[in-house]
Amino acid sequence: MQRVQFVETVLRDANQSLMATRLPYAKFEPILETMDKAGYYAVECWGGATFDVCLRYLNEDPWERLRKIRAKMPNTKLQMLLRGQNILGYKHYPDDVVRKFVQHAVKNGIDIIRIFDALNDPDNLKVAVEETVKCGAIASGAISYTTSPVHTLENYVKLVKELAAMGCSTICIKDMAGIMGPKEAYDLVSAIKDAVDLPVDVHTHCTTGLAFMTLLKSVEAGADIIDTATPPFSGGTSQASTDTLAYALRQLGYQVDLDDAVLKKVADFFKPVRDGYVADGTLMPKSMATDTQCLTYQVPGGMLSNLLSQLKTMNALDRLDEALAETPRVRKDLGYPPLVTPTSQMVGVQAVTNVLQGERYKKVSSEVRAYCRGEYGRTPAPIDPEVQKQILGDEKPLTGRYADTLEPAFEKTKAQLGDTARSDEDVLSYIAFPQLAEKFFADRQAAEENVVKYTIEEM
């Protein structure tokens, strides 16, 4: 009997996709010990946007959050999402920083690091994979799934073989926009299973309404693990429901080792949590809807909300259809990058800028310029030479790996911060998000001084 295992995403991608990661630790702490008994393959709880949002909006130390989750869930593997050489930020970092970050993620409680690159460039994955394996954690090599003339089964299989050779223990198909249909999933999982002897994990979203069918066909093709979310935080731009798929797969004769009684307690706990965010407007009905236009424009849910926000700021919401139509054209010009952080933001912003300026590439962001210089890695297809020339002028793009041009930064930054950083983790927070970390350190210091002051006054 084929066994299917589950990664529960409510602590990371489910709430990131539905409500921009605004779920603070205090809201889910009471259910962690129960979740630990569910029988999940893993719980995805860290990485992605959690690090940024903890510092920027929740006033939480992301490292402390991880340690607290680890303490409450000793029996379940904890998983994080890492953007390869980008770590959790939006640019490339030197190799010493990538290695340090991986070391401390594992030290603080992470068991599985899912490592992806926005361009599927193996050069941007190898250092993170190598260090993960060295630290004794599971390196899950991820394909950023997309469709284009160059994103063929053959090219995906070639990447998977490279990931296996690097030392990845599992392969993840990361369909961030929910655009992988059931036939594409069946064919891709089958091709991967034929190419390498590694477990395959399928990650998709319900954005286009395909997820349940896609996951069923993935399992039929031999997928070992699927990513799902507890029912109150499933659907829409999130993942398919854990409980529904457990029920359906058992009915179809697959072995599912989840405890249904525990799953029900988890769902019952998160229902009022979700309702609270619906009531205050954090979780908007639009996030829960099915939207098939993503199949045409390949715009993931988070990218669509960014487009809407940008147009609203410019009083140009009536230009949305033009911006959506421009998005695939920009993507083609830039060599068909998969639309995932940070390339989704670059392509989306450039599409809006082209539409509002009335002239294509008249104005470009520093990130798009850096992309055209080669600072984000090798593009899946060559960048349109005329567009590249228009953006770079006479400047020559890089020919090698950008990270090789970067000076080591960890020890230098540690010395520069001095007593402001109380740990290596603080140094890493600062390197990833300098301004956010500075504010967090200052607020932390002020809060502690207040506690001391009130304690003395009470004495």
Segment 178-221, tens digit of pLDDT = 999 999 999 999 999 999 999 999 999 999 999 999 999 999 99
Residue 455, pLDDT score: 59
Residue 302 pLDDT > 80, yes or no? no
Residue 329 pLDDT > 80, yes or no? yes
Residue 297, pLDDT score: 79
Round to whole Å and give the CA distance between 377 and 255.
41
Q: What is the pLDDT of residues 17-65, one digit of tens each?
A: 998 899 999 999 999 999 999 999 999 999 999 999 999 999 999 999 9
Exposure string of 25-54, with b = 16+ CB inside 10 Å and e = fewer, is bebbeebbebbbebbbbbbbbbbbbbbbbb
Residues 210 and 197 sit within 8 Å (Cβ to Cβ): no
Residues 219 and 249 sit within 8 Å (Cβ to Cβ): yes
Output the pTM of the full model.
0.94
* Residue in the block written with tokens 């010395």: 415
Residue 458, pLDDT score: 61
Residues 346 and 365 sit within 8 Å (Cβ to Cβ): yes
Q: What is the pLDDT of residues 349-391, one digit of tens each?
A: 999 999 999 999 999 999 999 999 999 999 999 999 999 999 9
Amino acid at 333: D
Q: Which CATH superfamily is domain 292-398 in?
A: Conserved carboxylase domain (1.10.472.90)
Residue 457, pLDDT score: 59
Q: What is the pLDDT of residues 81-128, one digit of tens each?
A: 999 999 998 889 999 999 999 999 999 999 999 999 999 999 999 999
- Which sign does the torsion angle of CA 212, 217, 220, 221 carry? negative
Residue 451, pLDDT score: 73
Q: Which residue has the higher pLDDT, 459 or 36?
A: 36
- Average pLDDT value for residue range 267-287: 92
Residue 74 pLDDT > 80, yes or no? yes
By the 10 Å C-beta count (0-12 exposed, 13-18 middle, 19+ buried), 135 is classed as: middle
Mean pLDDT of the chain: 94
User: Which CATH number is associated with domain 5-279?
Assistant: 3.20.20.70
Classify 115 as helix, strand or coil. strand
Round to whole Å and give the CA distance between 346 and 370.
11
Residue 459 pLDDT > 80, yes or no? no
* Phi, psi for 359 (deg, rounded to 5): -145, 130
Residue 284, pLDDT score: 82
Residue 276, pLDDT score: 95
Residue 454, pLDDT score: 64
Indicate the domain borders of the chain.
Answer: 5-279, 292-398, 409-458
- The confidence band for 240, taking pLDDT boundaries of 50, 70 and 90, is very high
Long-range pairs for 306-312 at CB < 8 Å and ≥24 separation? 306/344, 306/345, 306/348, 306/349, 307/348, 307/351, 307/352, 310/348, 310/349, 310/352, 311/352
- The confidence band for 293, taking pLDDT boundaries of 50, 70 and 90, is confident
Classify 182 as helix, strand or coil. helix
- The confidence band for 68, taking pLDDT boundaries of 50, 70 and 90, is very high
Residue 295, pLDDT score: 87
